Structure 1
Amino acid sequence: MALLAGSPIPLPAHPISLTTTLVDVRDETVQVHFSMMVEDLILYYRMQTDEHLRFPRELLERQARRHTAFVLRHLHLRDRDGNRLAGDLVEIDPSELPEEGVHIDDLMAYWIHYRFEFTFAERPDFLTVAQDFGGEEPVVPAEMQVRVFHHGVLMDTAVLSHGTAHTVPLDWEAGWERAREEVEAARERLRERREETLGITSYSAVYSFLYITEDEVRHELLVPLLTLETWLPLEREDPRIMTVAEQRAARGAIEAFVRQESRVRVDGEDLQPVLERLQFFGPEIRDFAQDAPERDVSVYNARVGLIRSYPVRQAPRQLSFAWYYFDERMPRLRSLVYPFDEGVEETIVTPYSPVFTWEAEALRPRAPLIELPPPDPARTVGLPLVSLLALGLAVLVGGIGWRRGPGAARRWCAVAALALLATAAVARNTGRVEVAAPADRTMVPDAAGAELIFSGLHANLYRAFDYREEEHVYDTLARSVAGPLLETVYLQVLRGLRMEEQGGAVSRIREVALEEAEIRPVAGRGGRWPAFSAEAAWTVTGTVEHWGHVHTRTNRYEAGFMVEGREEGWRITDFDPRIEERVGMQISLRR
């Protein structure tokens, strides 16, 4: 069937709006260069060709001017709080259009270019770009390629489908206008920005992290709020803002959704997750580096973070992780996997291959406790208590009789004394009492031996916290600390390992360095068992890992200890903490 001249024609065979947008942030304005194919005008407006199946240039220019209001209405630039920047048309450039018009077969060969200028009262520290071409329910799918520049230096790129947003942090102190002329300086500053953003560089991407440790498998998911709302509708009154109350109300539904769409299996057993954290983050990257307080968030640059832990009884040997939900915005899920301290792996799951499997190369037994030499009890002397008492009485009675002089009294005293002596002789093995030898010095180790014992006890004390379950920590701690002191030491060490800025997460101990230990023997403290005191100073370095980056903290301590031998071995029996101070803090990417 031939097309009649002047009749409306059907939509072209490329049923999607494809546009490109260059956004350049300057000192006082944002310059936006927006380009669209001629095809877009045909998609959005009912137009007619001439008898040569061409769209007249004059008609295309008229519709392009008409399209200006459409672009300004559906192209969004917003600040960190979701406030929209006002924009105006500067110029339209239709110079690519041929004078004879554009043939129906060439609609994708010619472009129309716009330049808009958006203004701001204060320099924005974040800029969000979004598009919803066609309104809430567009007839024509739309995809916009975005490149964001700051003073001419490329900051980021993204491809935005309908309703999605992309946020870029702006560094006004970087001197981009100078760096543009110094290419290497610009590259170095961009590398620095990646470190500063902890590797979480895209505000429109879904990030997934899978940690495998001796005590748990932990899955952390970071999802743009706008993306999450395509998975799971969330109620909010203001289309721009999600309030704290609305965030709290949505927690249960979000956690249930993620639980339904994912699965973790370790060594043949399906594990149930424990929700450790569910937070709504704003654009500030420091929100990820600390436990940020709750606050209202702009839906255009907010992200939702979930941390779910799967406790295990021993280091996993085999693991499978499954993710089942996919859509147009997330056709695949890319995850970074961190097995123990062995670096990082990357895995991608798709609707056709939704399960990732991992297997340990070898068993990972826990580091054993340091073995200590057993304490030597003091040598003892057995004293015949009954014999000594009888002997003493014999001396006393004999002395009395001697003073009485000759006569019956002396004779009776002599008889009594002899009887008592006989009793002492007969009872020499009865009622014996063991007492420490007064001159024995072999029970207390020398300085080198005592320091070796203390350093082992001190190391084992912290090694107990390699476990995560309180019962296991206490059981291991009891091999270094005397019973009455267990709770005190447990709470003191645990307090030092908590990172309050990370929501109270307990850091994993990486190094315990004993700087000094002054040993002093203590006579008589342990009865028949040896004892010594130690004045010690040491540092503890621990880490907490979240969202692909590592928080490393080093604390320094000074304390006094009392160490005593027992039947079951050496034990710390007294603990007097003196000084606790932070001497180092670092945040870095996990590599």
Structure 2
Amino acid sequence: MSMLNRPLTLLILASASVSSVVAEHPISITEAQIFVGRNSAQMRIRLFAEDLYLFQQMEADEFDMVPPAELRRGLQDHRKFLLEKVTLRDASGEAIEGQVTEIQPFEIPEQGIAVDELMKYAATYALEYPFRTPPEFLTLQQDISDESFIFPSEMKLALHQAGTEMTYTDVLKPGAPQTVRFDWESAPLAEDASEEDWEKWFDERREATLGITSYSSVYSFIYIEPAEVRHEILIPLATLRTILPMEHDDPAFISIDEQDAVRDSVRTWLTKYAPATLNGKEIKPEFSRIDFYGLDLKDFARQAEERKVSLANGRVGVILKYSAPEYPVKTVQLAWKKYYSSMSKIQSVVVAWPNEMSRFEFSRFNEEQDNVFTWEADSDTLPTAGTTIPVATEQPKLDIPVLSIAGAIAGAIALVMLRAHRARTCLAALVIAATVYPFFRVELNHPFSGPVPA
């Protein structure tokens, strides 16, 4: 997805000037402009009359003319079609219910329109998707096709966030969702912002998203340590489902019970196509974890809670561990042997002992030998079997609610010392103690626990 510093209105004007071309082969070409505010998304979909002919089963007469009545019917019936085929989903993958608020039809000649001239006529549909709260993420997907998937389609997307100068553009293919993240708190950059301001803005976004700036890309992190190599991979479910078979009752989600079968397929797949050689010996991977994440992923290192995950914007996190045949790891060869139209390249970040960081790209466009990541340890920094690796530690803390303890003590004293109303006074003291529990707390080093790893 590309990102342009242009107002949406310019894109709408530009798209309106696109010339109509009669296609030799039927193809659905639509243009979608989306304006996302805090309370709703306003979408404008511009399409050619040929879409109505392809998807609304309009009948032409013996002269290959589509009658006016058929065209008017197609324009109305296409409202339901668009609401079904163009979906907007929230961060959890749930579809946001939309409605068609307006149709700007093309002018219909009295004699109708010839089939080979349908691409000269365009209509615009206005759709609205309301929000309860400003969205952090939106996932857009188009599935504009016939039941047999004979006619290809593409949607030219321009999405603009209210209050900013940022517009996202992309071309959506059927069944290929695209996710956009929104920031409603940070002040938008001015149009004349400096290069330094833009760099700072991008750095902040990368930090907030763990460096994951595309939600449709595969990410790879390779960690080389003295005793092992870990390969952590984050794969969109929308990509994975084009590679591996997935059985799911809900067409939009993978349930918890269905996830184990996906894990088994992932193990078989990566064992075959992600081989590693350490110190000259081929090592089979151990799968430390295969987790299912939503868009709210904040820490890849933490195990995800079990939940159903959206096929449109969910992701699978895989951690493969390759143990060194002998200590320490001196050489590494890590390969990726299979590519797909939905996964033609993989960007990897490499973190190697003791303090090296680099990048590597696996790609279907590379030569076979160039799709093997290689690493060799510096002999001067090699640890021995008895080497002690420093571990950062911290002292556990003890959190003391001072006011609550004082209130509880006062209640106990009242219960023992007072003669009249002692039960009522004790109860009042305990209620006050519970009320002030979150306030005036003192944090001290835990007296009965030593330092633990940070």
Q: What TM-score comes out, normalization by structure 2 length?
A: 0.68
1:126 to 125, 128, 137: 137
Is the 2:220–2:346 Cα contact (8 Å) retained in structure 1? yes
User: What's the secondary structure of 1:174's corresponding residue?
Assistant: coil
- Where does residue 66 of structure 1 map in the other structure? 77
- Where does residue 329 of structure 1 map in the other structure? 342
Whole-angstrom CA distance in 2 between matches of 1:94 and 1:159: 24
Q: Give the 3 Å change call, closer, same or farther, for CA 111–336 of structure 1 in structure 2.
A: farther
The answer to which structure has the higher strand fraction is 1
Extract unaligned runs of 5+ from structure 1: 1-10, 369-465, 478-489, 498-557, 559-576, 586-591
- Where does residue 204 of structure 1 map in the other structure? 216
- Where does residue 365 of structure 1 map in the other structure? 379
Q: Give the residue type in structure 1 aligned to 2:342.
A: R
Task: Give the Å deviation of 1:33.
Answer: 1.6
Is the 1:318–1:357 Cα contact (8 Å) retained in structure 2? no
- Where does residue 417 of structure 2 map in the other structure? none
Greater RCO (CA < 8 Å, at least 6 residues apart): 2
User: What's the secondary structure of 1:323's corresponding residue?
Assistant: coil
User: What's the secondary structure of 1:260's corresponding residue?
Assistant: helix
User: What's the secondary structure of 1:65's corresponding residue?
Assistant: helix
- Where does residue 313 of structure 2 map in the other structure? 301
Q: Give the 3 Å change call, closer, same or farther, for CA 174–495 of structure 1 in structure 2.
A: closer
Q: Deviations over 1:158-209 (max 9, x none)?
A: 4433223222233222355xx5767667886455223311221222222233
Q: Give the 3 Å change call, closer, same or farther, for CA 255–109 of structure 1 in structure 2.
A: farther
User: What's the secondary structure of 1:42's corresponding residue?
Assistant: helix
1:235 to 247, 251, 256: 247
Whole-angstrom CA distance in 2 between matches of 1:318 and 1:289: 23
* 2:253 equivalent to 1:254: no
Whole-angstrom CA distance in 2 between matches of 1:175 and 1:102: 50
User: What's the secondary structure of 1:72's corresponding residue?
Assistant: helix
2:46 to 29, 35, 38: 35
Whole-angstrom CA distance in 2 between matches of 1:496 and 1:136: 60
Q: Give the residue type in structure 2 aligned to 1:250.
A: V
Whole-angstrom CA distance in 2 between matches of 1:98 and 1:182: 48
Whole-angstrom CA distance in 2 between matches of 1:134 and 1:298: 22
Is the 2:291–2:303 Cα contact (8 Å) retained in structure 1? no
Extract unaligned runs of 5+ from structure 2: 1-21, 395-444
Q: Give the residue type in structure 2 aligned to 1:83.
A: E
Task: Give the Å deviation of 1:279.
Answer: 1.2
Q: Give the residue type in structure 1 aligned to 2:347.
A: S
User: What's the secondary structure of 1:250's corresponding residue?
Assistant: helix
Calculate the aligned-residue CA RMSD, in Å.
4.0
- Where does residue 378 of structure 1 map in the other structure? none
Task: Give the Å deviation of 1:214.
Answer: 4.7
Is the 1:142–1:161 Cα contact (8 Å) retained in structure 2? yes
User: What's the secondary structure of 1:143's corresponding residue?
Assistant: strand
Q: Give the 3 Å change call, closer, same or farther, for CA 14–31 of structure 1 in structure 2.
A: same
Q: Deviations over 1:26-73 (max 9, x none)?
A: 132210121223443333244466898776777545523321210011
- Where does residue 26 of structure 1 map in the other structure? 37
Task: Give the Å deviation of 1:366.
Answer: 4.7
Q: Give the residue type in structure 2 aligned to 1:218.
A: R
Moved more, 144-153 or 269-278: 144-153
1:272 to 284, 287, 296: 284
Q: Give the residue type in structure 1 aligned to 2:246.
A: L
Q: Give the residue type in structure 2 aligned to 1:86.
A: E
User: What's the secondary structure of 1:43's corresponding residue?
Assistant: helix
Is the 1:208–1:333 Cα contact (8 Å) retained in structure 2? no
Whole-angstrom CA distance in 1 between matches of 2:147 and 2:116: 30
Whole-angstrom CA distance in 1 between matches of 2:47 and 2:219: 31
Alignment of 1:346-425 (within 5 A): 346-350=360-364, 353=367, 356-360=371-375, 364-367=378-381
- Where does residue 88 of structure 2 map in the other structure? 77
Moved more, 198-207 or 143-152: 143-152
Moved more, 23-32 or 152-161: 152-161
Whole-angstrom CA distance in 2 between matches of 1:16 and 1:270: 48
Q: Deviations over 1:309-329 (max 9, x none)?
A: 223345454625122142x42
- Where does residue 439 of structure 2 map in the other structure? none
Is the 1:180–1:186 Cα contact (8 Å) retained in structure 2? no
Whole-angstrom CA distance in 1 between matches of 2:62 and 2:249: 52
Is the 1:324–1:351 Cα contact (8 Å) retained in structure 2? no
Task: Give the Å deviation of 1:353.
Answer: 4.5
Is the 2:53–2:74 Cα contact (8 Å) retained in structure 1? no
Whole-angstrom CA distance in 1 between matches of 2:309 and 2:272: 26
Moved more, 50-59 or 32-41: 50-59
Q: Give the 3 Å change call, closer, same or farther, for CA 495–182 of structure 1 in structure 2.
A: closer
Q: Rg bigger for which structure? A: 1
Task: Give the Å deviation of 1:294.
Answer: 3.2
Q: Give the 3 Å change call, closer, same or farther, for CA 275–227 of structure 1 in structure 2.
A: same
Q: Give the 3 Å change call, closer, same or farther, for CA 293–46 of structure 1 in structure 2.
A: closer
User: What's the secondary structure of 2:220's corresponding residue?
Assistant: strand
Whole-angstrom CA distance in 1 between matches of 2:264 and 2:160: 39
2:98 to 75, 87, 103: 87
User: What's the secondary structure of 2:151's corresponding residue?
Assistant: coil
Q: Give the residue type in structure 1 aligned to 2:258.
A: E
User: What's the secondary structure of 2:98's corresponding residue?
Assistant: strand
Q: Deviations over 1:107-135 (max 9, x none)?
A: 55654322211112333332221222247
Q: What TM-score comes out, normalization by structure 1 length?
A: 0.54
Task: Give the Å deviation of 1:76.
Answer: 0.9
Q: Give the 3 Å change call, closer, same or farther, for CA 212–94 of structure 1 in structure 2.
A: farther
Is the 1:261–1:325 Cα contact (8 Å) retained in structure 2? no
Whole-angstrom CA distance in 2 between matches of 1:214 and 1:183: 45
Q: Give the residue type in structure 1 aligned to 2:381.
A: A
Q: Give the residue type in structure 1 aligned to 2:291.
A: Q
User: What's the secondary structure of 1:231's corresponding residue?
Assistant: coil
Moved more, 80-89 or 136-145: 136-145
Task: Give the Å deviation of 1:339.
Answer: 6.2
Aligned positions, number: 373
Alignment of 1:468-479 (within 5 A): 472=385, 475-476=386-387
* 2:234 equivalent to 1:219: no
